[in-house]
Amino acid sequence: MSVSTETLTGGYGAGLLDRERIIAKPGFNRWLVPPAALAIHLCIGMAYGFSVFWLPLTKSIGITAPVACPDMTLATALFTTSCDWRVSDLGWMYTLFFVLLGSSAAIWGGWLERAGPRKAGFVAACCWCGGIVLAAIGVIFHQLWLMWIGAGVIGGIGLGLGYISPVSTLIKWFPDRRGMATGMAIMGFGGGAMIGAPLANMLMNTFKSDTSVGVWQTFIVIAAIYFVFMMGGAFGYRIPPAGWRPEGWQPKVTGNAMITHGHVHLRDAHKTPQFWLIWAVLTLNVSAGIGVIGMASPMLQEIFAGSLIGVPELKFADLSKEQLAAVAAIAAGFTGLLSLFNIGGRFFWASLSDKIGRKNTYYVFFLLGILLYASAPWAAGIGSKVYFVAAFCVILSMYGGGFSTIPAYLADIFGTQFVGAIHGRLLTAWATAGIIGPVVVNYIREAQIAAGIPRAQVYDFTMYILAGMLALGLIANALVRPLSDKWFMSDDEVAALQAKTQASNAGPTGSFGIGKGGFDGKALAAWAVIGLPILWGVWITLQKTFVLFS
């Protein structure tokens, strides 16, 4: 990644983090921007993999076995120094991640558009990595409330700012391939756990001792690693000057009616029905997928039980301790495989949306998703591991694809001027889904178990509920229409906004010698820095996945 600070003429009076400081100069290669975005997204994507710490933290006092306090409440757990935490106490941090992600993206999305992606990336690195360090202190002193505030709240704010920091920037750099551009960056968030979880396991095994489970030391190390990568990403960001467009590319004047050529102001976007329809589209798609992510491992174990290790006559309750450990290891491969499809789907579906359109892509998500969710109980009933695993791999690819396609969908409907801030507000849908999805899956499962339903069948009703959610999303997507002209800013308003940047003096439109180069040496080096950790994560995942089908 490029970390130089070249600017257009007149930019040297700006601060190192200011938007004016990062306007690209002639000769800059636009293919350096996606690795910068990936550097940040791969780090904050570890939020998906934080469950790797839950079981070790339940033994942070007992070391070899949990020190359990049967009468402990959640309020007691926040301050106790003599009882080990339960997984349910720690799991609230997962909820805090995504509630704060959506909320902070909505609150500070407008600020990001004014401040620029470098400043937002810098603050995101400080919050996410600083929050993890504070969580480490919470582990040292055994204070759960400090972990919640550190990683959950402060870290969650870093997640929100880091997540949206590259969106509008990449859309501006790749107006010819909006879906592909956002897909490249946002796939990093889905892949963060694929790299971070095995790295965290390695570090915990290195640091654990007779007096420590190795979690707080791991927190410190990964915070330091992530801080370096995120700073590299933040300082690698550049924005194009006003009027820039790729060499030889001209925007289509006619064509897809769902792609606007105007711009809607941030203050007006949420007043339109289209905003709330797309909000519902994202909420329902994510609610269905995120519930499955949180229960993927126990779901596979409880449904297929002994058949995973060659003894199909054994139900989950009949497995021995050793057999449960073997089944859990296989389920870990399933979880890794889902993560891999979550990543690939973010790039594949977003790129496909450039060809078939954003609305049609979501039609595919909902129609195919309904079919797969509704048929999952059938696959479980006949014991078809292959169909069951394949179905959920496709479902998770569409879950990831929903995230990477939505920024381009918003740009198509509302224009690019405020797309980052509008996307930030839309991410309140993620915060909502982060509550709805796990609640639906977890509580229905508990109710089914309490009613005496066999473990292999407790997810059947849940699958039909999730299919129903997607049916509602299908209706919402069908109702999305192009905006009427009254919502768009005038040319004078757009020009006035652009005039606030140093680059507005460029006047004419064109490439200005910027964006050329393709995958030259500098770009290849930047992609290698990002690509090698991804390849390592893929390799580890494939090794675990092999056990699932062996």
Closest CA to 162 of 482, 376, 424, 508: 424
Q: How far apart are CA 286 and CA 400, in angstroms?
A: 9
Q: What is the pLDDT of residues 452-462, one digit of tens each?
A: 888 778 888 88
Q: Is 512 left (phi over 0), alpha (psi -120 to 50) or beta?
A: left
What number does CATH give the domain 20-247+505-549?
Answer: 1.20.1250.20
- The two tokens of residue 86 are 């339960």
Q: What is the pLDDT of residues 335-368, one digit of tens each?
A: 778 888 888 898 899 889 989 999 999 999 999 9
Q: Is 10 left (phi over 0), alpha (psi -120 to 50) or beta?
A: left
Q: Quick one: CA dihedral 246, 250, 256, 262, positive or negative?
A: positive
| Sequence-distant (≥ 6) Cβ neighbours of residue 141 within 8 angstroms | 81
Q: How far apart are CA 151 and CA 135, in angstroms?
A: 6
Please say whether the beta carbons of 18 and 228 come within 8 A: no
Neighbours of 288 (CB within 10 A): 31
Q: Quick one: CA dihedral 330, 336, 340, 346, positive or negative?
A: positive
Fold of 261-487: Growth Hormone; Chain: A; (1.20.1250)
Q: How far apart are CA 525 and CA 529, in angstroms?
A: 6
Q: How far apart are CA 331 and CA 500, in angstroms?
A: 53
Per-residue pLDDT at 49: 81
Q: How far apart are CA 296 and CA 380, in angstroms?
A: 14
Q: Which helix (H) or strand (E) holds 342?
A: helix 321-356
* Residue whose entry in the numeric block shows the structure tokens 């409880």: 302
Question: Hey, what amino acid is at 544?
Answer: K
Q: Show me where the domains of the chain are located.
A: 20-247+505-549, 261-487
**Cα 86 to the center of its chain, rounded Å:** 26
Q: Do domains 20-247+505-549 and 261-487 have the same CATH topology?
A: yes
Whole-prediction pTM = 0.78
Q: How far apart are CA 439 and CA 333, in angstroms?
A: 25
Tell me the DSSP string of 58-115: TTTTTSSS----TT--HHHHTT-SSSPPPHHHHHHHHHHHHHHHHHHHHHHHHHHHHH
- The two tokens of residue 356 are 């078939």
Q: Is 189 left (phi over 0), alpha (psi -120 to 50) or beta?
A: alpha
Backbone angles phi and psi of 376, in degrees to 5: -60, -45
How far lies 142's CA from each of 3, 58, 59, 61, 137, in Å? 39, 11, 11, 8, 8
Please say whether the beta carbons of 85 and 143 come within 8 A: no
Q: Quick one: CA dihedral 225, 230, 231, 237, positive or negative?
A: positive
Binned average pLDDT, 10 residues per bin, the chain of 550 residues: 39 71 88 92 89 84 86 88 85 83 86 88 96 96 95 94 86 82 78 86 89 94 97 93 80 60 85 95 91 75 83 83 76 78 88 91 97 93 88 92 90 85 87 81 77 82 91 96 87 69 48 70 90 89 72
| Sequence-distant (≥ 6) Cβ neighbours of residue 96 within 8 angstroms | 148, 151, 152, 153, 156
Per-residue pLDDT at 282: 95
| Sequence-distant (≥ 6) Cβ neighbours of residue 475 within 8 angstroms | none
Residue 510 in 3-state DSSP?
Answer: strand
Tell me the DSSP string of 150-167: IIIIIHHHHHHHHHHTTH
Q: How far apart are CA 238 and CA 117, in angstroms?
A: 8
**Cβ density class 82-91: b for 16+ within 10 Å, e for less:** ebbbbeebbb
